[in-house]
Structure 1
Amino acid sequence: MKTTTSSSAPTTAPKRPSAARARLIDTATRLFYEEGIHAVGVDRITDEAAVTRATLYNQFGGKENLVLAYLRNEDEMLRAMFADAGEAVTDPAQLVDAVIDGIAADIRLRHTRGCPFINAAAEYPDADGAVRLLIDEHREWFRSTLQAVAEQAGLESPVDVAASLVLLRDAALVGGYIDGDERVTPAFERTARSVVAAHRPL
């Protein structure tokens, strides 16, 4: 049976964050990533975001929820990058190369001080805490997404391919910060492509 929708039915648009909330997240993202989470206090964040402490607590309830919002923002941006790559590249084999290119660009241009999730994990040792659980969720999504890309490209042992690419990305993000992307990024690309080549069916 076909159903119809009244043209007068109200539509619900996604709710945009308030300007103050957006400024808090943007400021926290920059400061937490550049200087470390525990090193940056609430007063510093509110001063640079040009909001009051009351606004921060009204929006997030406390610093830890702001940390979670920062990490969710990082997660959403990476998911969006994968979604954009998937729409732009139709050949599954080319998508693997696009993912490697995207990771290399991220190391070189955006995450120049290491992985924000690894950095946050080092500051939050409680494996059962909210921050670490969010990090675990992100990493599981990233690993499973790489596995799906490998499967679609017809690579053998896609679980192993995904595990290798996660490991290489982790090492490259840390190494890029310490040793410089000029040395690390080409090594990442070379090694990642050799992993993919080794798993292509004969």
Structure 2
Amino acid sequence: MKQRGQVVIDKILDTAERLFYAQGYNNTGINQIIEESDIAKASLYKHFDTKTDLLIAYVRRTHELWFSRLEASINKVTDPKGKLLALFDHHMERQKVRLYGGCPFIKANDEAGMSDPKVLAEIQSAKIHSRQFITTLVENSGHKKILTDDELAETIYVMLEGSIVTASVFKKPDEIRSAKKIIEKLI
């Protein structure tokens, strides 16, 4: 059973996640978060000193949830090369779920990462973790070695990132699907 403090933190973060993603960090006020979380103002400030601290906690928790979903999805695949292709399938599915709203980390970076080094560091940490995960999958894949492990990992990472952005612009998974086909030829 969760302690009361964690229940309040979860309510705040659930609300912040929904609002930051849907309407943006800069367009979301603390009072809206307090109201929609149905908590007292003192409760928010007991757990988060500033709106920036709340954003950092949101990015951190979003990354933890994102990565656990990704890992679970990839672990369903037994073929090492298939795991690389499953990265694209997972991202296509997540973009459908998010109505092609794009990457929450890029969105947060666009609004706050440029001006706050703590926010930027948290976002960079999430992206580095993603790249490291891809690198591990590449190293274990037994790919054709058309590219080095590092080159293939970087290619997959950049193609995923770019195709997710493009999918968010055109509101469809075509570019993610195309990137997957290209990677399939390289592995």
Aligned CA distance change for structure 1 residues 141 and 52 (closer, same or farther; 3 Å): same
Corresponding residue of 2:84: 96
Structure 1 equivalent of residue 93 of structure 2 = 105
When normalised by structure 1's length, the TM-score is 0.82
Inter-CA distance 84–26: structure 2 relative to 1 (3 Å threshold): same
- 1:152 deviation in Å? 0.8
The 1-side partners of 2:81 and 2:2 are apart by 35
Instruction: Write out aligned runs for 1:1-202 (5 A).
Output: 18-110=6-98, 112-124=100-112, 125-126=114-115, 129-155=117-143, 156=145, 157-181=148-172, 185-198=173-186, 200=187
Structure 1 residue 43, shift from structure 2 partner: 0.2
**Bigger relative contact order, structure 1 or 2, given CA contacts below 8 A and separation 6+?**
2
Cα shift at 1:86:
4.4
Letter in 2 for 1:104: M
The alignment yields a C-alpha RMSD, in angstroms, of: 2.1
In the alignment, the residues of structure 1 paired with residue 54 and residue 71 of structure 2 have an alpha-carbon distance, to the nearest angstrom, of 25
Gaps of 5+ in 1: 1-12
Higher Rg: 1
Query: Greater helix percent: which structure?
Result: 2
CA 1:197–1:143 in structure 2 vs 1: closer, same or farther (change >3 Å)? Answer: same
Greater mean deviation of Cα atoms: 24-33 or 168-177: 168-177
Q: CA deviation at 1:130?
A: 0.8
CA shift, 1:39, in A, is: 1.1
Structure 1 residue 16: deviation in Å? 8.6
Identity %: 24
Distance 1:173 1:190, change over 3 A: closer
Gaps of 5+ in 2: none
Measured in 2, the distance between the counterparts of 1:90 and 1:14 equals 35
What code does the residue aligned with 2:68 have? Answer: A
**SS state of the match for residue 126, structure 2?**
helix
Classify 1:80/1:111 alpha carbon distance in 2 versus 1 (closer, same or farther; 3 Å).
farther
